[in-house]
Amino acid sequence: MKKLLLILIFAMSLPIWAQSQLTGTVRDNQSTPIGWATLILQATVNPKEEYFITSEEDGSFIFNDIKNKGKYKLTSSFIGYRDLEQLIDITDSNSPIILIMTPDENILDEVMITSHRKALKVTPGKATLNIEQSNLAKTQSAYDVLKTLPGVTVSQNGELKIKGKSGVTVLMDGQPTQLSAEQLKTILKGTPGSTLQSIEIMNVPPANIDASGTGGVINIISKKKLVQGFYGTVNSTLGVSKKVSTDHSLNLGYSNENWNYNFLYSFSYAPDRLRENYEKRDFSSINKEWLNQSQFSFLNSRSHLIKLDIARTFDKGDVLRLKTAFDYNDTPSTVNTNVLSGANNIKARQSVQKNDSKNQLTNLTADLSYKMKITEKESWTTSIGTIYLKSDINDMIYGNNGSVLKPNDLLTKQQNKYPSDRKEFYFKSDYQKPLWDKENTTAKLEFGVKSNYSILETNERLRNLLIDGNEVNAVRKSQFEYKTGVHAFYGSFDMTLDKWAITAGLRGEYTHINGDTLNHKKLVKQNYFSLFPTVQLTYTANENYSVMASYSRRIERPEYDKLNPAVRYLNSTTTSMGNPNLQPEYSNNIEVSQQFLGFIDLTLGYSRITDPMLYSYFNKGIDQSYFTTVNGKNRSEWQASLSMPIPGINWWENYHGVYFFNTRFDNNLVNENKNSIGVFTYNNFKLPHNISLELTAWYQNGGIESNFRYRSLGEVNLGVSKKFLDDKFTVTLAVSDLFKTGGIRTTVLENPTQLTNFTVKNDMRIFKFGISYNFGGKNKKNDTSQEETTINKGHTPIKVIK
C-alpha cells in the first residue's frame, strides 16, 4: 500500500517538477488581501506566451506549469485600483512575491464586477461551495445541495452526517437553527439553491461559533451582493419526475455609498412520492411470527420564503443592519399503509390504514446589528435578534381489517393534533483587534459574549372518533413546556510567525433546561457549565509541504422533540416518543492534516464521544414498535481521508477524495462495529462557447448509525449550462440522482432472534430545466471593507495550491 501511494504521488507530481511555478499574494496599501484580482504573466521575449489567472479569496495566487524560464511581465488589475506592472525573473525556484496595489480614486463607477471564484474551495478542516458559481446547485433545493458536498450523507431519520459522524449542527447565516431534524428537512427542502450564496463545512469551528455540533458545523449563507445602483436576479426551475416540481426566486436590491437594500422572494412546489417497506421476523416465537408492511406516501410541499436586508453605512465606517425573514411551508400528505402478518400454520391477517395529514410550518426571524469600526481592522459588533417558529400538524387516521379501505367499512377513526410554538431571543457582542501586523508576523485578538433563551410549548391532542364501529369521543391531552438558555463567553488568539501559525480559543457555556408536563413538573431539569477549548497549530515547511494539528471539544444537546415524552402515532404498528432522561453528548476531537506537493491533503482524525445520543428503533412485539433516542456507551471513532484536485488544467475545476471511518454500536444485546469507505468527486468543465458541464458523485459502502446497519448508498448528479448576453442570462439542464441509487436500506441491530429490515425510496431521479437572468448593478468601491460572509475569521490553516 505504501509503495502504491508513493508511485501515485510521484506520477502526479511529474508535470509539476518538469515546469516552473510562481506564487504570491495581492494586497492593498493597508495590507488587506484583494481577492479575484486579474493577473497576467507575459514573456518579454515571446509575448504570445501568456498565462491568465485570478487571485483566491485570501489574495493568494499561483501560476502553474510555466513552460520556459526567463524574464516575464506580471500585470495585476482589479476594479477600484490602479494597474500594477512588475518584471519577474522565472527560475527553477522562485520565492513568493507580494503585490501591493493602490486605490484609484478616478475609476468609473459604471464598470461591472466580474467574479472568478471557484465553485468548490477545500482547505484542511473546511470546505466551501460557492453556489453562485455552480449552475447545478442553483437547480437543487438546499437539502439536495448539502448531499453533494464532500463527505456529507443523510441518515435513516434525516439527520446529516459528515464523513460518518453524526451530531452535525446547521447554521443559517451564522445563527444556530435549533430545529428538529424533521423541521430542518422541511425548511431546507423548501429553500431553492438559487437563494443561497454559499455553504461552508467546518470540522474545527473557531471559538466565536456555538460549541454545539460534535460531528461538525454546516453554515448556510444567504445570497448577498456588493454592487452599486439597482440590481436583480431572476431564477426559475422546472423539475420532471413522476410529478412536476417547480421553484422560482426573485432577488432585488439597491445600493449607494450609505444605504444597501436587498429583497428576496422564492416559491417552491415539490411533490414527492415515498415508498417504505418494513419486514420483521421473530425466530424466538413458537410459530415463527412475521410481519410485512408497505407504506406509500404522497406529499405536496409548497414553500414561500421572503427576506429583507437593510444596511446603513455611516461616514466613519460604522454599519447598522436589519435582517428579517419569513418562511412558510405547507406540506399536506396522504399515507397508505398495508400490513400483512401471520405465523407458521396460521392464516395471514391483513389490515389497511390511511393517514390524511396537514403539516404547516411558519418561521419568522429578525436580527438587528451594529458594527462599530474603531480602526481599519479593529471593530466591535453587537446584535440582538428573535425567532418565532409555529408548527401545526393535523393527522386524520382511518383503518380497517380488509384489503381495500372503504369509508363504510371503517373500524377505527382517529384525529391527532401536534401543535407547537417556539419563541427565541438572543444577544451577541463581539470585539476584534489586531495586535500587530509586521512583515513576518501578525497577531489578532477576538473575544465576546452571547446569550440565547427560548421557550417552546406543545399542546398535543389525540381523539378517538370511532373504535370497532362504535361512536366514541375520547380525548387525551399531552402538554410539554420546554425552556432552555445557553449563555456563553469566548476568546481567541490568532498569530503567524514566519513558518508557524497558531489559533487558540476558549469558549465557556452555561446551559439550563427545564421541561414541564401536565402530570410532572420539572420532568426535565438540567443545569451545567462546560469549557470548550480549540487549538490549531500549523507549520509550513515550504510550498510543497505543510502540516496542521488541531484539538477541539464540542457538545450536542438534545432537541426538545427528543426530550418530549408524548407519544406520536406514525402508522398502525409504529410510534415515536422522546426521552426526558436524555443527556447531552460530548466529543474530544484530534485531527492531523498534511499537505504534499501543495495540493494533496492527507487527514487523520480521532474522536472520543461521551454519552452518545442514538436515535434508535425498538420492538415490543411482532406488531408493536417505537422510535426513541437513548444515550449509548462511551465510544471512540477513527477517520482518515485523502483528497486532491488534479492540477494544471485551467478548463477543469475538480476535487476528488476518499475517506474512511469506523463506527461502533454497543448495548446490552449487540456489540458491533463497522469500517466504512466513501469516495466523492466534484468536476466543473469550462467548455467553449460559454458552456459548462458539472458532474458530482459520491458513494459509501454502508455503515452503522445508532442501531441501524445501512447498506451502500450514493448519488450521481449531472448538469450542463450555457451563458448568453454577456453572461447575464444562463440556461441549465440538470438531472439529480442519475442512476436512482439514493434510496436507504437498513437492518436493525437487535436481539439475534429477531430480524427487522427497512427500505426507503422516493422519486429520486429528477430532470430539471432552469433559467437565470442578472440585471443592473455597478461596481461598489472598497469591496474589501465589506463585512465577511464567512463566520470563520481565523487565518487559512494551510495554503492550498490549485
The rounded distance, in Å, linking the Cα atoms of 269 and 248 is: 9
For each of the domains in the chain, give its residue range(s) and CATH number, in order of start. 2-101 (2.60.40.1120), 120-348+356-785 (2.40.170.20)
In percent, how much of the chain has pLDDT > 70? 89
Question: Does the pLDDT at position 686 exceed 70?
Answer: yes
DSSP of 741-776: ---EEEEE---TTEEEEEEEEE---EEEEEEEEEEE
Which has more pLDDT, 13 or 464?
464
Could you read off the pLDDT of 360-383 as tens digits, one per residue? 999 999 999 999 989 878 999 999
> What does the buried/exposed string (b/e) look like for 291-311 if buried means 16 or more CB atoms within 10 Å of the residue's CB?
bbbebebebebebebebebeb
Q: What is the pLDDT of residues 617-669, one digit of tens each?
A: 898 888 889 999 999 888 888 889 998 888 878 788 888 999 998 887 776 66
Average pLDDT over residues 194-205: 84
Q: How far is CA 580 from the centre of its chain?
A: 28
Q: Are 9 and 596 within 8 A, CB to CB?
A: yes
Q: Kindly report, residue by residue over 377-431, the tens digit of the pLDDT.
A: 899 999 999 999 999 999 999 988 776 766 667 788 889 999 999 999 999 999 9
Tell me the per-residue pLDDT of 667-683, one tens digit each, with 9 for 90 and over: 666 778 888 999 999 99
Strand ranges (E), 7-106: 20-28, 38-43, 50-54, 60-66, 70-77, 84-90, 97-101
pLDDT of residue 323: 94
> Cell triple for residue 376?
481599519
- Confidence check: pLDDT of 530 > 80: yes
Q: Which three cell numbers stand for residue 442?
A: 501578525
At 141, is the pLDDT very low, low, confident or very high (cuts 50, 70, 90)? confident
Nearest partner of 763 among 294, 299, 158, 272, judged by Cα: 272
pLDDT confidence of 767, banded at 50, 70, 90?
A: very high
pLDDT of residue 1: 44
In order of 210, 275, 339, 594, 677, the CA distances from 401 in angstroms are 51, 21, 9, 63, 45
pLDDT surpassing 70 at residue 526: yes
Record the pTM.
0.80
What does pLDDT average to over the chain? 83
Any bridge partners for residue 423, and if so which? 388, 455
